[in-house]
């Protein structure tokens, strides 16, 4: 069992919002920046890595039961997105690493 809390600790991610969802269990990881594409492909419990920071990413995460969203490369996050992630209890995390580097690190952790 690997939780979002474990992930945050291992990768030293910044918790931007949605701390109440830190107990969510992680199944796998998905990278994508086109929302409809992600809607079609991502699975329950996945970590979603993206550079999109518009508030609609939270809607996608809720509808697809994702464990958390990681914003890569320290992209700026809209205040509305932060508010919505807190309301929906979706962990919104951030890292200076790029999406590829994050996925590599997560791949090692999920082995």
Partner 1 sequence: MKRVGTIQIKYMIAKNDFSKAGAAASNIKKTLRKLGISTDVIKRVAVAAYETEMNVIIHSHGGIMYLNIDVEKVTIIAEDKGPGIEDIEMAMKEGYSTATSQIRELGFGAGMGLPNIKRCADNFEIKSSLENSTIIKMSFNLK
Stretch that binds partner 1, among 15-23, 54-62, 90-98, 99-107 (CB under 8 A): 54-62
Stretch that binds partner 1, among 7-15, 18-26, 53-61, 93-101 (CB under 8 A): 53-61
Site for partner 1 in 20-39 (CB under 8 A): 33-37, 39
| CA dist., res. 10 & res. 81, Å (int) | 24
Beta carbons of 47 and 70 less than 8 angstroms apart:
yes
Pick from 68, 59, 89, 60: nearest CA to 25: 68
Site for partner 1 in 72-91 (CB under 8 A): 80
Question: Binding of partner 1 at residue 13 (CB under 8 A)?
Answer: no
Stretch that binds partner 1, among 7-15, 52-60, 91-99, 100-108 (CB under 8 A): 52-60
Q: Tell me how crowded residue 35 is: count the other CB atoms within 10 A of its CB.
A: 15
Structure tokens at 77: 């996050």
| CA dist., res. 95 & res. 39, Å (int) | 23
Q: Binding residues for partner 1, per CB under 8 A?
A: 33-37, 39-40, 44, 50, 52, 54-60, 62-64, 80
């Amino acid at each position: 069992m690997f939780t979002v809390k474990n992930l945050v600790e291992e990768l030293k991610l910044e918790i931007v919002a949605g701390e109440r969802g830190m107990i969510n269990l992680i199944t796998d990881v998905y990278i994508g920046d086109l929302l409809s594409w992600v809607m079609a492909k991502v699975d329950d419990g996945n970590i979603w890595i993206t550079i999109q920071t518009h508030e609609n990413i939270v809607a996608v995460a809720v509808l697809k039961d994702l464990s958390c969203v990681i914003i890569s490369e320290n992209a700026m996050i809209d205040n509305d997105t932060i508010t919505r992630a807190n309301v929906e209890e979706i962990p919104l995390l951030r890292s200076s690493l790029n999406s590829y580097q994050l996925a590599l690190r997560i791949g090692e952790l999920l082995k």
